[in-house]
């Protein structure tokens, strides 16, 4: 049944119409325990969702909606290795990559766990060899630099996690990333490196992605220009891929290939061999701890009752805002500098997963699906875009993420950081009325400018400390939130056909540019090509 025609949706609509004027002020005044009763503990994550425009009735109806839309059935099908990615006829089993249990997980009748464990073991051996210096370069030098070449799902996860877990990394090994086809990225990443001390990880599920293959070939040229010996490639290039044939064609020995499988979606792949650069940076034990953290949240999502299931609750609140309040974006605001790439990571995670406008059956939707995801770490954002959050005209729910114990305790920094986090959620929720502004003796002309309407909803996630384990929990939480929303909206969160058209057009345009032929496109593209050619001269 179409979502908006369901009884549960219509009941939610009636509830929205009856309560849309309620303010967070009123909701908190009505219930002294609100802060506690609208909170949850999932693993190490304490989640306060009380500063949302919801009542117990809203949550109850949203849970009814989740039941009616088959969220639990779809979840169980995902964990069981069913082919829920219907447009690509694939299982969606990133949860198997971090499974710490002893059960079999089968795809097409085959248990995938032995292979998962075997690859993890090989990754651990390779990482240890780089870290302890037993893997030497072609000329016998120690490896000091590891450069991951990949893009999208084969880049963003490792980029985010290597930065997030820098505190746990081996500092004498530099891990860098090259993704953009713009040669500046490769040039800047390698300009101060010695090829004899550098290993490239070419990370590509398909091993045909133009950006990655172009960068990998140029990296190979850069290496050979210095080492002058084809056989050096074996010591300086390893691959992470599902495509052994293409890996071999590139000249990488398949003994140095780390495999993963078609049931691992790119944007859900950081716990697969795609995380090799992470393991090199933080070591096999910390990587294992990261997997264990993912597993904690996977188990919570799989087993907790819907009412106490954090990804379910957060997902449903997002559906409520998208469906009835017109929320077109959500901000993720981590109060931790190490999480500077967290929002960017979930930009892909969320927008590529749920940026869809047809249902799994191919029918156009008549409701909002995935929001725009964005954000920067606090407190930088406060001095940049929070103005719009507080006084702009858009409705933007925000997630605030904080840690109780700092990894780099210096003076009063962390207490001030935490005070800012809490202050922002207070200001967003409760604002400051015109009367309160007047009571401060503010000139009447300035009163409208200094008034804060409040009523901006936030979730606050508090964790003890940023560790590989808690980071794993946090990432899995957002992954499953995306899953829940996709299930409610009835879309396929695991394909990404929307990225295809641009790729095809770029291929065609590349030939027009490279061969200098007459373009026959629309008048805008034709003129732009014309100007480009003139400017090149
Ligand atoms: C993610 C997408 C996409 C993919 C890249 C890289 O879910 O599928 O971002 O990861 O296009 O693809 P390859 O790993 O095949 O190079």
pLDDT of residue 446: 98
Ligand 1 touching residue 153 (CB < 6 A): yes
pLDDT of residue 1: 84
Ligand 1 touching residue 492 (CB < 6 A): no
Nearest alpha carbon, ligand 1 atom 5: 152
Strand-pair partners of 398? 331, 458
Cα(238)–Cα(220) distance, integer angstroms: 12
Catalytic, 383? Answer yes
The alpha carbon of 266 and the centre of ligand 1 are apart by a number of angstroms equal to 5
SS3 453: coil
pLDDT of residue 411: 98
Strand-pair partners of 232? none
Sort 51 into a burial class: Cβ within 10 Å, 0-12 / 13-18 / 19+. buried
Nearest CA to 202 among 255, 256, 156, 163?
A: 256
Ligand 1 touching residue 265 (CB < 6 A): yes
Atom number of ligand 1 nearest to Cα 268: 7
SS3 395: coil
Residues in the chain: 537
SS3 32: coil
Cα(334)–Cα(338) distance, integer angstroms: 9
Mean pLDDT by 10 residues, the chain (537 residues): 96 97 97 97 98 98 98 98 98 98 95 98 98 98 98 98 98 98 98 98 97 98 98 97 95 94 98 98 98 98 98 98 98 98 98 98 98 97 97 98 98 98 98 98 98 98 98 99 98 97 96 95 97 96
Catalytic, 88? Answer no
Catalytic, 83? Answer no
Ligand 1 touching residue 354 (CB < 6 A): no
Ligand 1 touching residue 148 (CB < 6 A): no
Ligand 1 touching residue 334 (CB < 6 A): no
Six-digit token string for 297? 């949240």
Q: State the CB neighbour count (10 A cutoff) for residue 465.
A: 13
The alpha carbon of 153 and the centre of ligand 1 are apart by a number of angstroms equal to 5
The alpha carbon of 86 and the centre of ligand 1 are apart by a number of angstroms equal to 18
The alpha carbon of 254 and the centre of ligand 1 are apart by a number of angstroms equal to 21
Cα(276)–Cα(161) distance, integer angstroms: 11
Which of 228, 383, 534, 537 is flagged as catalytic?
A: 383
Which of 352, 479, 480, 481 is flagged as catalytic?
A: 352
Cα(253)–Cα(239) distance, integer angstroms: 9
Six-digit token string for 438? 């007047």
Strand-pair partners of 405? 465
Phi-psi map region of 272: left, alpha, beta (phi>0 left; psi -120 to 50 alpha): beta
Cα(8)–Cα(69) distance, integer angstroms: 9
Going by the DSSP 8-state scheme, the letter that residue 326 receives in this structure is -
Using the CB atoms, write b or e for 108-120: b if 16+ within 10 Å: eeeebbeebeebb
Nearest CA to 352 among 498, 468, 224?
A: 498
The alpha carbon of 68 and the centre of ligand 1 are apart by a number of angstroms equal to 33
Nearest alpha carbon, ligand 1 atom 9: 152
For strands 39-42 and 45-48, give the pairing. antiparallel
Atom number of ligand 1 nearest to Cα 241: 14
Max CA-CA distance within the chain?
Answer: 78
């Amino acid at each position: 049944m179409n979502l908006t025609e369901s009884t549960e949706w219509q009941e939610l609509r009636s509830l929205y119409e009856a309560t849309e004027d309620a303010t967070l002020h009123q909701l908190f005044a009505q219930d002294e325990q609100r802060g506690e009763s609208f909170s949850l503990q999932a693993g190490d994550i304490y989640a306060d969702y009380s500063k949302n425009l919801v009542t117990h009735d809203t949550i109850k109806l949203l849970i009814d909606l989740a039941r009616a839309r088959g969220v639990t059935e779809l979840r169980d099908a995902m964990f069981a290795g069913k082919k829920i990615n219907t447009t690509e006829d694939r299982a969606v089993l990133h949860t198997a990559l971090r499974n710490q249990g002893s059960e079999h997980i089968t795809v097409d009748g085959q248990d995938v766990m032995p292979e998962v464990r075997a690859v993890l073991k090989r990754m651990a051996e390779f990482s240890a060899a780089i870290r302890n210096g037993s893997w030497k370069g072609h000329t016998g030098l120690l490896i000091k630099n590891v450069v991951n070449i990949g893009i999208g799902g084969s880049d963003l996860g490792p980029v985010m996690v290597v930065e997030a877990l820098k505190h746990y990394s081996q500092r004498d090994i530099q891990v860098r990333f090259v993704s953009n086809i713009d040669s500046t990225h490769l040039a800047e990443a390698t300009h101060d490196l010695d090829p004899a001390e550098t290993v490239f990880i070419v990370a590509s599920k398909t091993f045909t992605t133009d950006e990655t293959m172009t960068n990998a070939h140029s990296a190979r040229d850069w290496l050979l220009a210095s080492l002058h010996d084809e056989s050096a490639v074996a010591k300086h290039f390893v691959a992470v891929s599902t495509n052994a044939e293409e890996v071999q064609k590139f000249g990488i020995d398949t003994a140095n290939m780390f495999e993963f499988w078609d049931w691992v979606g790119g944007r859900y792949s950081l716990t697969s061999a795609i995380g090799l650069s992470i393991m090199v940076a933080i070591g096999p034990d910390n990587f294992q701890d990261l997997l264990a953290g993912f597993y904690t949240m996977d188990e919570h999502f799989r087993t907790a009752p819907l009412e106490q299931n954090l990804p379910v609750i957060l997902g449903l609140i997002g559906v409520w805002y998208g469906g009835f309040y017109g929320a077109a974006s959500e901000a993720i605001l981590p109060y931790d500098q190490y999480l500077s790439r967290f929002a960017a990571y979930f930009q892909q995670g969320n927008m590529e997963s749920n940026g869809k406008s047809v249902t799994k059956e191919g029918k156009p939707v008549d409701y909002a699906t995935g929001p725009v995801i964005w954000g920067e770490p606090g407190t930088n954002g406060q001095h940049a875009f929070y103005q719009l959050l507080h006084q702009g005209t858009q409705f933007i729910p925000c997630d605030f993420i904080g840690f109780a114990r700092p990894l780099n305790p210096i003076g009063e920094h962390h207490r001030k950081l935490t005070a800012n986090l809490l202050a922002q959620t207070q200001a967003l929720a409760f604002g400051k009325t015109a009367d309160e502004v007047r009571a401060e003796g503010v000139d009447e002309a300035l009163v409208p400018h200094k008034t804060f309407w409040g009523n901006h909803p936030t979730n606050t996630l508090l964790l003890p400390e940023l560790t590989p384990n808690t980071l794993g929990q946090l990432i899995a939480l957002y992954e499953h939130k995306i899953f829940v929303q996709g299930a409610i909206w009835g879309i396929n969160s695991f394909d990404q056909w929307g990225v295809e058209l641009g790729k095809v057009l770029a291929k065609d345009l590349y030939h027009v540019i490279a061969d200098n032929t007459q373009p026959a496109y629309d008048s805008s593209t034709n003129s732009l090509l014309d100007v480009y050619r003139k400017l090149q001269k």
